[in-house]
C-alpha cells in the first residue's frame, strides 16, 4: 500500500507578541507564575490589524507552495479548518485560494475546496479527509493543502484570556510523503458537550474547569478505542507524543492520564509498582468516588517517578516548545506540537527514521482522536525548512495598552479603527472587504 501522509509543513505566526509575565500579569494583578509555571505559557502571538485567518493561512500555504515548487495545477483539494470563520456561506478556503491566485498565473478551478468545523480537532479531521481522498484514489495524482488557521481570542477578563494565540499551519498531504505517514488505525472518543461553544458569537462561552475534565474524559475514551484497533500500546513504542495544547499545563495533566492508562498490564507498571504499588482497579473499590481518589493519588505518585519524568522529558516536553511562546492556536495547535517535537529532535540529532509518533487531537464540543504516524527517513531536511524561530523572534512586543487596542480591532462588534503596529513584508494583508488578498 502506498504511504500517504504529510509531505511538508509551514507555520505562520501572528506578527505581535504579548508577554504574559512582564505585561499581562501586572495588568491582571496576578503572580506571573500562574501563567509561566501553572499554565506553562510565556507569551501569546496576536495578529496585527492587517492580519486575519485568511492572510495567515494564505501566507503559510504560499510559503509551502513556493518551497515545494508547486503551482495551483498541482493541487486537487484545499481544506481549511477553523473556528474563527467570518462567513457562514463561503468557505475560508475560497478566500485563501483568492489570495494565492493573485500571485500565480494559474487558478484552483478544479480543486475541491471546503471548510471543516469541530473546534480544535477540525485540523486533524481535515488531514483525515485529505488522507481518505488520496487513499480512495479520487485525487487524480494531485496533492491536498490542509490549512488550520485561527485567531483564538477570548472576551476580555475571561479566564481563557491568558491562553489566547493566533497563527496558521499549512500542510501538504500527498503519496510518498517526506515527513510522516499517517496510520489507518484511529481511536475516537466523542460526546455532545457544552463547556466551550460560540453560538453566533465571536468569543467563546467557556466553563474552563469543566472543559479540562471533558478533554481528559474524551482522551481516555479515544485511547481505549485506539488500543482496541492496534491491540495494546506500550509507552516506549513512541518517540514523541504531540497533544492538542490549549496551554502546556493541560498537556501535563493529559500526559499523566495517558501514561497511566497505557502502562496498565505492561512491564512499566510492574517496574514502578516496586516504588508506588500497582495502579488501582475499579473492582477494588466500593464507590466510584473512592476509586477516583485512589487514581488521583496513584497518578500524582506516578508523575514523581524517574521513569515517568524521563518519558515526559523525551516525548512530551519537546512538543511544547512553540506553544509556550504562542499560546493556543485552536485547530493548528496539535500540528504545531508535532512540528515542535520534530524541530527539537533535529536540533538534538535524534534519530527518528521510521520512529512512531502518537498524535492526540482534541476539540471541544467534544471529540478526541488518537492515531499514530511513522516518521519518514529524510524528515530532518523537511523540518530544517521551518523558519518559525525567525518568525517568533521578529514579532513586535506589544504593551498592555496596545494589546487592548489590538483586541478591540479584532472584535467584529467593535467600531475601533486601529493603526497597524508593524509593516507587512512580503505577505498577504487584509485590506478591507472585497480587497482581501493583496500581497505587500
Interface characters, 292-321, with ligand HMG (x: CB under 6 A): ------------------------------
Whether the Cβ atoms of residue 101 and residue 113 lie closer than 8 Å to each other: no
Rounded Cα–Cα distance for residues 238 and 234 (Å): 8
Cis peptide before 366 (omega within 30 of 0): yes
Interface characters, 161-200, with ligand HMG (x: CB under 6 A): -xx--------------------------------x----
Structure-block grid coordinates of residue 34:
500562574
Choose the binding region for ligand HMG from 41-49, 184-192, 211-219, 261-269 (rule: CB under 6 A): 211-219
Phi and psi, residue 319, nearest 5°: -75, -10
Residue 246 near ligand HMG by CB under 6 A: yes
Residue 125 near ligand HMG by CB under 6 A: no
Choose the binding region for ligand HMG from 160-168, 277-285, 348-356, 397-405 (rule: CB under 6 A): 160-168
Q: Give the residues across from 372 on adjacent strands.
A: 358
Cβ proximity to ligand HMG, 93 vs 328, nearer residue: 328
Residue 140 near ligand HMG by CB under 6 A: no
Which residues in the 251-290 window bind ligand HMG by CB under 6 A? none
Choose the binding region for ligand HMG from 220-228, 243-251, 301-309, 375-383 (rule: CB under 6 A): 243-251
Residue with cell 517535537: 341
Rounded Cα–Cα distance for residues 339 and 148 (Å): 13
Q: Which positions are catalytic?
A: 83, 120, 244
DSSP string, 136-174: TT-STT-EEEEEEEEEE---TT-GGGGG-EEEEEEEEEE
Please return the burial class of 107, using the count of CB atoms within 10 Å of its CB with bins 0-12, 13-18 and 19+. middle
Instruction: Select from 70, 208, 374, 387 the one that contacts ligand HMG (CB under 6 A).
Output: 208
Residue 39 near ligand HMG by CB under 6 A: yes
Instruction: Select from 3, 27, 106, 159 the one that contacts ligand HMG (CB under 6 A).
Output: 159
Helices (H), 304-387: 306-315, 323-326, 333-347, 379-384
Cβ proximity to ligand HMG, 28 vs 422, nearer residue: 28
Nearest alpha-carbon partner for 318 in 409, 242, 263: 242
Residue with cell 469541530: 118
Residue 249 near ligand HMG by CB under 6 A: yes
Q: Give the residues across from 6 on adjacent strands.
A: 173, 180
Instruction: Select from 165, 189, 248, 363 the one that contacts ligand HMG (CB under 6 A).
Output: 363
Q: In what order do the strands lie in the sheet with 367-375?
A: 112-116, 75-81, 143-152, 165-175, 4-13, 180-190, 367-375, 356-363
Within 13 Å of residue 176, how many CA atoms lie on the same side as its CB?
2
Binding residues for ligand HMG, rule CB under 6 A, total 29
Which residues in the 378-407 window bind ligand HMG by CB under 6 A? none
Cβ proximity to ligand HMG, 110 vs 210, nearer residue: 210
Choose the binding region for ligand HMG from 71-79, 305-313, 360-368, 389-397 (rule: CB under 6 A): 360-368
Rounded Cα–Cα distance for residues 60 and 85 (Å): 17
Q: How far is the CB of 210 from ligand HMG (least distance, A)?
A: 9
Instruction: Select from 84, 149, 164, 211 the one that contacts ligand HMG (CB under 6 A).
Output: 211
Please count the residues of the chain: 440
Residue 24 near ligand HMG by CB under 6 A: no
Cβ proximity to ligand HMG, 196 vs 379, nearer residue: 196
Rounded Cα–Cα distance for residues 327 and 395 (Å): 14
* Structure letter (DSSP) for residue 278: P
Rounded Cα–Cα distance for residues 206 and 349 (Å): 41
Q: Which residue has the CB atom at the shortest distance from ligand HMG?
A: 38
The residues binding ligand HMG (CB under 6 A) are: 31, 33-34, 37-39, 83, 119-120, 159-160, 162-163, 196, 206, 208-209, 211-212, 215, 244, 246, 249-250, 328, 330, 362-364
Amino acid at each position: 500500500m502506498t504511504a500517504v501522509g504529510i509531505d511538508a509543513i509551514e507555520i505562520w505566526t501572528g506578527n505581535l507578541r504579548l508577554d504574559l509575565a512582564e505585561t499581562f500579569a501586572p495588568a491582571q494583578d496576578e503572580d506571573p507564575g500562574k501563567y509561566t509555571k501553572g499554565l506553562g505559557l510565556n507569551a501569546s502571538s496576536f495578529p496585527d490589524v492587517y492580519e486575519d485567518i485568511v492572510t495567515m493561512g494564505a501566507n503559510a500555504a504560499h510559503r509551502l507552495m513556493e518551497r515545494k515548487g508547486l503551482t495551483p495545477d498541482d493541487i486537487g483539494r484545499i481544506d481549511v479548518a477553523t473556528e474563527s470563520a467570518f462567513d457562514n456561506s463561503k468557505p475560508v478556503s475560497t478566500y485563501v485560494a483568492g489570495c494565492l491566485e493573485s500571485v500565480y498565473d494559474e487558478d484552483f478551478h478544479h480543486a475541491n475546496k471546503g471548510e471543516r468545523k469541530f473546534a480544535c480537532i477540525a485540523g486533524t479531521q481535515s488531514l483525515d479527509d485529505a488522507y481518505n481522498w488520496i487513499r480512495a484514489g479520487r485525487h487524480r495524482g494531485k496533492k491536498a493543502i490542509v490549512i488550520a488557521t485561527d485567531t483564538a481570542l477570548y472576551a476580555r477578563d475571561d479566564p481563557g484570556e491568558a491562553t489566547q494565540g493566533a497563527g496558521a499551519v499549512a500542510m501538504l498531504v500527498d503519496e510518498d510523503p517526506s515527513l510522516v505517514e499517517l496510520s489507518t488505525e484511529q481511536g475516537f472518543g466523542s460526546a455532545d458537550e457544552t463547556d466551550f461553544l460560540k453560538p453566533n458569537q465571536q468569543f467563546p462561552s467557556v466553563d474552563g474547569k469543566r472543559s479540562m475534565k471533558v478533554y481528559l474524559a474524551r482522551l481516555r475514551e479515544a485511547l481505549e478505542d485506539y488500543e482496541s484497533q492496534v491491540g495494546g500500546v506500550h509507552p516506549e513504542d513512541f518517540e514523541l507524543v504531540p497533544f492538542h495544547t490549549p496551554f502546556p499545563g493541560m498537556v501535563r495533566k493529559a500526559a499523566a492520564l495517558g501514561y497511566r492508562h497505557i502502562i496498565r498490564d505492561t512491564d512499566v507498571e510492574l517496574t514502578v509498582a516496586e516504588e508506588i504499588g500497582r495502579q488501582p482497579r475499579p473492582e477494588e473499590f466500593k464507590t466510584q468516588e473512592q476509586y477516583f481518589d485512589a487514581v488521583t493519588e496513584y497518578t500524582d505518585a506516578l508523575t514523581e517517578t524517574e521513569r515517568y519524568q524521563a518519558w515526559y522529558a523525551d516525548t512530551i516536553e519537546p512538543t511544547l516548545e512553540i506553544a509556550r511562546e504562542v499560546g493556543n492556536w485552536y485547530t493548528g495547535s496539535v500540528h504545531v506540537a508535532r512540528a515542535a517535537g520534530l524541530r527539537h529532535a533535529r536540533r538534538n540529532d535524534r534519530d527518528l527514521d521510521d520512529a512512531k509518533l502518537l498524535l492526540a487531537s482534541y476539540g471541544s464540543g467534544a471529540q478526541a482522536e488518537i492515531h499514530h504516524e511513522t516518521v519518514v527517513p529524510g524528515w530532518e531536511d523537511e523540518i530544517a525548512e521551518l523558519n518559525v524561530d525567525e518568525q517568533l523572534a521578529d514579532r513586535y512586543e506589544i504593551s498592555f495598552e496596545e494589546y487592548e487596542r489590538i483586541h478591540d480591532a479584532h472584535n467584529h462588534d467593535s467600531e475601533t479603527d486601529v493603526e497597524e503596529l508593524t509593516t507587512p513584508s512580503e505577505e498577504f494583508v487584509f485590506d478591507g472587504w472585497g480587497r482581501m488578498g493583496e500581497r505587500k
